[in-house]
Chain A
């Protein structure tokens, strides 16, 4: 993204971004050909995902894509109709839910209403028949980790939504699972708390060193937290990659359109290209474009101002004789930093570098 026309000098790049697990031969959690049907509906269709240790992994997709079903299958609350799931190479499917070293944080949190905070968190350790002193110490530590020390005696109905979420987190991590599964962990929270909790989840994952698998339908949430993301659609994996790769090199049209906004270019040769609004530049009609750049005459139609960035929708002049590329859609979205000087009705030239056109599968 370093040469994006609209970006400032310092762009965020994560050096540790990786698209495939570092240790492919030995994934922590290996899913091969996982299938699940509900009657005639195929919820999961040949899902293959490897998740490595200490990874913050996200299952991303619209509602009904099968992501929650997959999470429940990993937790043991549902059984696959086919395929295999292994944890450290051992078969996980044969293991009953209560024996799996995997814990799930439910979307509803599923806190026990008749127990106080402390006893909710202690529940899993008591089932392991841990000594009382150990339970007390570990519950205290877990509550401290999530920032709830001192609230152990509170009843669940005395807690705010954010506090309930922290209790649910503490209850899951206190068992020190190999994998923590989180089902839409931030879905029930206000936007303000949600952004704060995104950072906290990240921090927590580093601190406790547990592999996180987060299900979400919110692409911004997945992008901001996850090391790698599997994009699911209709029970199938569309692409597994780092957030940067998903954004810069989407493999399919669905991914390109689901992650951020994009413009689709369809040249007559049947191929398909994605062009991110962030890679486009708007020039006044009389400015010469830099060499090698593609250009196209256009008219500004609409500007949406989001604070830090504006999305400017322009209508392309498809008959422009100087257009250096055919196949542009009738309207293109251009992202501009801050507010803009252009106004609806202005004649402009859209310009981009050919290398930012990303070819994708149809």
Chain B
């Protein structure tokens, strides 16, 4: 790669500024003593203190983590099995790509559809219905990521394990899963980050007593942005950055263990 020209650097600078200025403003304001977007009252961490005493936020965070962890576990299992099953048994190109629908269809369509389904099934809305709904669309993403990995893995590996005397289950657990591990891990982390900040589907499929964090933020913001929400957003930013960076690091690590 050659170094960019001065023009290229300016271009790059403006593009990155466009992408990151809103986030930097947010992080900056979270340390603003005055709590106002219009005047700088000096550096302070007091809004982070406020945040830690905000029971609504604590409650929302707990609910969001329950949903995100549960949906990630279920979606990773379903998505991995679906990807492997499709690659082995499906020859029809329509069915082969139909799994992706929940990932690409507008959230609002999925949300309304899920609400109708839960209502029709007389399913009480609450964290369970949110968790199941998140599992649905996260599984589609996991499937897509694991399928990509499958294309880079020698299809004979599992047959080789069987040939060496392993049972079908043993070959799957000892050979197929480890060779897919980078894809499964990447899919799981993607599912987790998608679930944590998902709002539309949670808004439609959640009950009134257990709002997720995005719902808590939304109901707070309706009456004007409170400064501790800035602090919360900054914390979420930090968390998702750590997740993304560790995902990259892990993917590189497992890939170096894996093929190529």
Residues of A that sit less than 8 Å from B by CB: 75-77, 97-99, 103-104, 106-108, 110-114, 123-124, 127-128, 155-157, 171, 175
Which residues, 148 to 192 on B, are CB-close (under 8 Å) to A? 153-154, 156-157, 159-167, 170, 174-175, 178-179, 181
Give me 20 A-to-B residue pairs in the complex whose CB atoms sit less than 8 angstroms apart, sorted by A's number: A99-B165, A106-B156, A107-B156, A110-B154, A110-B156, A110-B159, A112-B160, A112-B161, A112-B178, A113-B257, A114-B179, A114-B257, A123-B161, A123-B164, A127-B165, A155-B257, A156-B259, A157-B256, A157-B260, A175-B165
Residues of B that sit less than 8 Å from A by CB: 153-154, 156-157, 159-167, 170, 174-175, 178-179, 181, 256-260
A127 touches B166 (CB 8 A): yes
Q: How far apart are the CA atoms of A112 and B256 in the complex, in Å?
A: 13
Q: How far apart are the CA atoms of A266 and B257 in the complex, in Å?
A: 61
A108 touches B162 (CB 8 A): no
B178 touches A75 (CB 8 A): no
Residues of B within 8 A of A108 (CB): 154, 156
> Do most interface residues of chain B lie in helix, strand or loop, or is the interface mixed?
helix
Chain B residue with the shortest CB-CB distance to A121: B164
Residues of A within 8 A of B153 (CB): 113
Q: How far apart are the CA atoms of A106 and B159 in the complex, in Å?
A: 9
Q: How far apart are the CA atoms of A111 and B164 in the complex, in Å?
A: 12
Q: How far apart are the CA atoms of A361 and B259 in the complex, in Å?
A: 50
* Contacts A110-B156, A112-B175, A157-B259 supplied; 19 other A-B pairs, CB < 8 Å: A77-B162, A77-B163, A97-B159, A98-B164, A98-B165, A98-B166, A99-B165, A103-B163, A104-B160, A106-B160, A112-B157, A112-B161, A112-B179, A113-B259, A123-B161, A127-B164, A155-B257, A157-B260, A175-B164
A75 touches B163 (CB 8 A): yes
Residues of B within 8 A of A155 (CB): 257
B162 touches A113 (CB 8 A): no
Residues of B within 8 A of A124 (CB): 164-165
Which 6 A-B residue pairs are closest in the complex by CB-CB distance? Answer: A124-B164, A110-B160, A110-B156, A127-B165, A113-B259, A114-B178
